[in-house]
Amino acid sequence: MKYRPHIDGLRALAVIPVVMFHLGSSLMPGGFVGVDVFFVISGYLITTILIDDINSSRYSLLEFYKRRILRILPALCTVVAFTLLLSSFLMLPAEQRELGKSIVATSSFISNFYFWSESDYFSAPAESMALLHTWSLAVEEQFYIFFPILLLALSKYAKNHITLTITLLSFISLCLCLLLTPQHQDIAFYLLPTRAWELGIGALLAIWLSSRPDTNRRNPAVALVGILLILAPIFMLKKESIFPGWNALYPTIGAALLIGWANGTTIGRILSLAPVVWVGKISYSFYLWHWPLIVFWKLEYGQHLSTTEKVLLFFLSIALAAVSTHFIEKPFRSQKLRQTSAKTVVMVGVLPLLAMAALGALASQKYLTFRSLPDHVSSTASAIDYRTWPDYQRQFRTGQCFLGQANNGLADFIPSLCTSVQSSNPNILVIGDSHAAQFWGAFTEILPDINIMQATASGCKALIGSPGQKRCTEIRDWVFEVFLPSNHVDAVVIAGRWTESDLEYLPDTINQLEKFTNSVIVVGPTVEYQGPLPTLLARSQLKEQSFNFSEHLTPGRIEVNEAMRKMTEESNATYIDILSTLCHNGECTLFAKDHVPMQFDYGHLTLSGAVQVLQEHRSTILEAIPSPTH
């Protein structure tokens, strides 16, 4: 395959936005565009090699996997070992346990499934997952389990239908991506069926170019369109932009245009400049090293990176990438190893994967922690596992009256358990997302003589007209269109993880609720932290430092709280000000009276925390319920 330096330059163009995004620049989520470009480049290069092998009658699956092992494993194993070593000294037990699980997943090349089930790439808790970025590597390797076999089979039995078959499969993958992104962004983001089309575009480009003479295909206009299709999303996409979906289509097409037609153009010459090509050549190691460095730096020095820290981490990542490329990657591409039999390389290559998995399993069981924590720090840190506590189920009723990602919507909801109306007691219905569900257990404790019903689901708010995932919109529609019109409810409590964009839906929702109930109670936003509160507290205790509220509080909550209070009062509903109950003069209550942290993650209250907060508003809540018994 003829070497084209502008492709290395394109790799540089891909990796830099990803690193800048992870460093917390304004390129959000434009940094993800870089992953799309990587997928196209990978699909193009690998398919070009496979086609050359097929045409030269030297095609071998073992030889293919030998090249992948020598290309991928050395740097990956080094980074994983570095990450595991540092975690033993810098991570809390729960963090290292999760890292161990992710190492097992990474060594099996299924980390995309692991992070899909365990995290949200766009959320603060993801920032402590040191191997989160390996999801894209897993997608690639899963693609290369199936694609070489498919290509070989087509070349033997349906040679004239190779392009048609891959086009059809890529189109199906694209359609899945476009359909799933609005409602199931996590699935569309992490999993191969919805990302395979990006590698497929690169593969189709390789197939198309291989069937034509190697003539000069430079086209400045096409190259200009290509670079614009990549750069525009990087700078135009915002944090709230939906991704991948349509927003991933532009950079993938742009990358294909640059690969095929930029060589020899002005843009191609820019991409072929020596410094740009150099960054492209170290891009794999650059990608691998940058995220663990950022994670450990933030764990030790705080979530907010100064400009100086961002610059330092950027160039430290480049330095490690250069060393890694020269001393780790290159030796494994030596002529001697290239001449080693594929069977030997594949068999030996399995050993570091097994070692990684074994070490990850040990770390997940806390056998690789080299420091002990004081009792009070361990007690605080243990609350990170709150979802395994009996209090959690008693508080939320997950899977029954609070539907999460594992549920299929209204079909999993249990009306007889969750919304059974009583004639002998006042009836209150709690609706909303997880930030509504967190109050059900607390309401039952502070109001034992009132029937507290619950219809909640994660993923969106119970606001008429607002977007949301199926499990939430189905319950919301059922509440407003079926349950409330046919049942007497004394009061409806609506709560959620409120943002500024929710405010436009609130007045109409309150007005609609007032048609069905005597009283509407709006619960305002809680305080939020830029990371799980038990972890942040434990780190402060470990360093014997005062809790730094200015460092850890998520900004903007006060403004949302005041806007919601004003809007609720104008609608004659009752407002429960959670934020003002928790926080005063820039400081917030960190522990409940039972010494458990008030919140078990970035913002959800523990049961004791929710009880303590609502207890202060008990009289206001009772006054809002029109009943002769009060």
Express each pLDDT in 487-516 by its tens digit. Answer: 989 999 999 999 999 999 999 999 999 999
291 and 389, same domain (yes or no): no
**Which residues lie closer than 8 Å to 555 by C-beta, 6 or more apart?**
none
What one-letter code names the amino acid at 15?
V
Interatomic CA distance for residues 34 and 38, integer angstroms: 6
113-151 per-position pLDDT tens digit = 999 988 654 444 566 789 999 999 999 999 999 999 999
Other CB atoms closer than 10 Å to residue 589's CB: what's the count? 17
Q: Is residue 371 situated within a structural domain?
A: no
Phi and psi of 430, rounded to 5°?
A: -100, 125
More confident residue, 386 or 338: 386
Mean pLDDT of the 428-444 span: 96
Domain presence at residue 370: no
Contacts of 166 (CB under 8 A, 6+ apart): 150, 200, 203, 204, 207
What pLDDT is recorded for position 530? 86
Q: Which of 321, 341, 364 is the last residue of a domain?
A: 364
Under 8 Å CB-to-CB from 452, ≥6 apart: which residues? 428, 430, 440, 443, 444
Our count of domains for the chain comes to 2
Q: Given this model, what pLDDT does residue 629 score?
A: 42
Q: From 341, 364, 387, give the residue that closes a domain.
A: 364
Inside any domain, residue 628: no
Question: Which of 311, 338, 364 represents a domain boundary (last residue)?
Answer: 364
What digits encode the pLDDT tens for the residues 157-201?
Answer: 999 999 999 999 999 999 999 999 987 888 999 999 999 999 999
What is residue 591's predicted lDDT score, i.e. its pLDDT?
97
- What pLDDT, on a 0 to 100 scale, did the predictor assign at position 513? 96
Half-sphere exposure of 520 (CA within 13 A, CB side): 23
Is 473 in the same domain as 509?
yes
**3-class DSSP state for residue 402?**
strand
Asked whether residue 535 is domain-assigned, the answer is yes
**Farthest-apart Cα atoms in the chain, separation:** 89
CATH number at residue 495: 3.40.50.1110
Q: Are residues 521 and 607 in the same domain?
A: yes
Tell me, yes or no, whether 163 lies in a domain: yes
* pLDDT band per the 50, 70, 90 thresholds, residue 4: confident
Pair (435, 545) in one structural domain: yes
* Same domain membership, residue 530 and residue 394: yes
pLDDT category at 25 given cuts 50, 70, 90 is low
Calpha distance 207→101 (Å, rounded): 39
136: closest CA among 24, 212, 42? 42
Handedness of CA 606, 607, 610, 616 (dihedral sign): negative
% of the chain surpassing 70 pLDDT = 96
Provide the pLDDT confidence category of residue 630 given band limits of 50, 70 and 90: very low
> What integer pLDDT is reported at residue 3 of this predicted model?
67
pLDDT at 183: 77
Q: Do 461 and 502 contact (CB within 8 A), yes or no?
A: yes
Residues 225 and 354 grouped into a single domain: yes
Residue 210 to residue 495: CA distance in whole angstroms: 58
- The upper half-sphere exposure of residue 3, i.e. CA atoms within 13 Å in the direction of its Cβ, equals 6
Neighbours of 416 (CB within 10 A): 6
11 by Cβ neighbours in 10 Å (0-12 / 13-18 / 19+) ranks as: buried
Average pLDDT across the chain, whole number: 91
Cβ contact 17:27 at 8 Å: yes
On the CB side of 411, how many CA atoms lie within 13 Å of its CA?
4
Lowest-pLDDT range, 149-163, 308-322, 327-341, 350-364? Answer: 327-341
Average pLDDT score over residue span 285-298: 95
pLDDT of residue 28: 52
Range of lowest pLDDT (27-41, 176-190, 269-283, 324-338): 27-41
Is residue 480 within 8 A of residue 455, CB to CB? The reply is no
Q: How far is CA 279 from CA 9, 15, 283, 382, in A?
A: 7, 9, 6, 42
Asked if residue 297 and residue 238 are part of one domain, the reply reads yes
Q: Which helix (H) or strand (E) holds 572?
A: none
User: Could you tell me how far CA 479 lies from the centroid of its own chain?
Assistant: 30
Tens-digit pLDDT profile for residues 556-596? 999 999 999 999 999 999 999 999 999 999 999 999 999 99
Which of 369, 298, 292, 293 lies closest to 536, judged by CA? 298
Together in a domain, 339 and 388: no
For residue 139, the enclosing domain spans: 5-364
d(CA 289, CA 283): 10
Residues 186 and 37 in one domain: yes
* Element counts in the chain: helices (H) and strands (E): 31, 8
**Token pair for 548:** 């730094």
Let me know: does 331 contact 78? Beta carbons within 8 Å: no
Residues 564 and 484 in one domain: yes
* Cα angle 555-561-565, degrees, rounded to a multiple of 5: 165
Quote the tokens at residue 155. Answer: 């070349």
Residue 374 lies in a domain: no
Residues 576 and 495 in one domain: yes
- Cα–Cα dist 92/94, whole Å: 6
Report if residue 49 sits inside a domain. Answer: yes
**Do residue 184 and residue 272 come from a single domain?**
yes
